């Protein structure tokens, strides 16, 4: 399965979905003009990956900020991860960013996935 790698920009997050190296990352700022269009290839990739996943999948969210439309797409990613045996989430946040910490906590309450919080 070919890796999906998107360079981050001022309005879009860096994305790394690399099955071979076990690297799954969404990092930076997520304010795309059309979140559904931006996130569609990510969700498609994850759905294909879910058909034959690695024994363990650790998805790293290292977001500094996301808008409302991105939050729906993040929830869609998390919902897709629920169907992957052995999937878990590491939610990173800056130690002075209570909003991002709380966002991770709220997402963790909406899905059946193990979450871990890390300060970076």
Helices (H), 1-120: 35-50, 68-82, 98-110
Question: pLDDT of 61-114, one tens digit each?
Answer: 999 999 999 999 999 999 999 999 999 999 999 999 999 999 999 999 999 999
In this structure, what token pair is assigned to residue 34? Answer: 């059309």
What's the pTM?
0.96
pLDDT, average across residues 6-33:
97
Please state the domain count of the chain. 1
Range of the domain at 45: 4-119
CATH number, domain containing residue 69: 3.30.750
Q: Are 35 and 72 in contact (CB under 8 A)?
A: yes
Distance CA 71, CA 27 (A): 14
In DSSP terms, which residues pair with 90 in a beta bridge?
A: 60, 116
Q: How confident is the model at residue 26 (pLDDT cuts 50, 70, 90)?
A: very high
- pLDDT above 90 covers a percentage of the chain that reads 99
């Amino acid at each position: 399965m070919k890796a999906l790698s998107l360079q981050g920009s001022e309005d879009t997050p860096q994305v790394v979905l690399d099955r071979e190296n076990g690297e799954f990352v969404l990092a930076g700022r997520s304010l795309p003009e059309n979140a559904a269009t931006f996130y569609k290839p990510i969700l498609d990739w994850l759905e294909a990956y879910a058909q034959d996943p690695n024994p363990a999948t650790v998805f790293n969210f290292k977001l500094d900020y996301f808008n409302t439309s991105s939050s729906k797409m993040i929830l869609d990613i998390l919902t897709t991860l629920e169907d992957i045996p052995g999937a878990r989430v590491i939610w990173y946040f800056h130690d002075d960013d209570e909003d991002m910490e709380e966002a991770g906590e709220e997402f963790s309450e909406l899905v059946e996935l193990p979450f871990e919080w890390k300060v970076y």
